């Protein structure tokens, strides 16, 4: 004889958490990444010329060896950022080699302070085309993560609906 396994029911708190967190994070991942990293044409980017002061590499919180972004501090403009998806060894080396007081020419995304192209004189440290490709790939990852979060919300919602249906059936008896 085999014993029938009873399905483990999701608790009410877990179901509500899955629903709320799934909807919030799913929306941020799907719609936020599409806004902040929206594909743009070169002529739609904001042109910025500013004097370089310093940079800071901000590591990821989970994987310390992963770069979240590089913050570039400018003397005559607010700080700008290079997305971690766009950071390669060549980009890091190019930024490390910049002397303080260097004039930088940049193309910045209009919806964020993210640099999509970085030039110092004739040298291109970060190319617009590479940034566009890297950020597009990153956005695909965020969309997949957002869809997963919506799936978690659907599990929470279905658990709540099933709980409600069972409660009504018990009341009818």
Rounded to two decimals, the pTM is: 0.75
Would you give the distance in Å from CA 56 to the centre of its chain? 19
Three-state DSSP state, 78: coil
DSSP-derived pairing of the beta strands 115-120 and 123-126:
antiparallel
d(CA 96, CA 35): 30
**String of DSSP letters for 8-64:** PPPPHHHHHHHHHHHHHHHHIIIIIHHHHT----GGGSEEEEEEEEEEEEEE-SS-T
* Tens of pLDDT, residue by residue, the chain (173 residues): 456 666 678 899 999 999 999 999 999 999 988 887 788 889 999 999 999 999 998 887 666 567 889 999 999 889 999 998 899 999 999 999 999 999 999 999 988 889 999 999 999 999 999 999 998 888 899 999 999 999 999 999 999 999 888 888 888 87
């Amino acid at each position: 004889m085999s014993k029938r396994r009873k399905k483990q029911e999701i608790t009410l708190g877990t179901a509500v958490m899955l629903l709320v967190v799934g909807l919030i994070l799913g929306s941020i991942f799907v719609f936020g990444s599409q806004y902040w990293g929206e594909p743009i044409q070169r002529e739609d980017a904001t042109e910025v010329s500013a004097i370089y002061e310093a940079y800071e590499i901000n590591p990821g919180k989970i994987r310390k060896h992963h770069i979240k972004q590089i913050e570039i501090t400018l003397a005559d403009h607010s700080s700008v950022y290079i997305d971690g998806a766009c950071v390669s060894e060549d980009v890091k080396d190019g930024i490390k080699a910049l002397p303080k007081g260097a004039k930088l020419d940049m193309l910045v995304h209009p919806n964020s302070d993210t640099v999509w192209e970085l030039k110092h004189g004739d040298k291109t440290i970060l190319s617009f085309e590479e940034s566009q490709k890297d950020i597009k790939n990153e956005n695909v990852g965020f969309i997949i993560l957002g869809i997963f979060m919506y799936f978690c919300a659907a599990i929470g919602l279905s658990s709540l609906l099933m709980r409600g249906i069972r409660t009504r059936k018990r009341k009818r008896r």
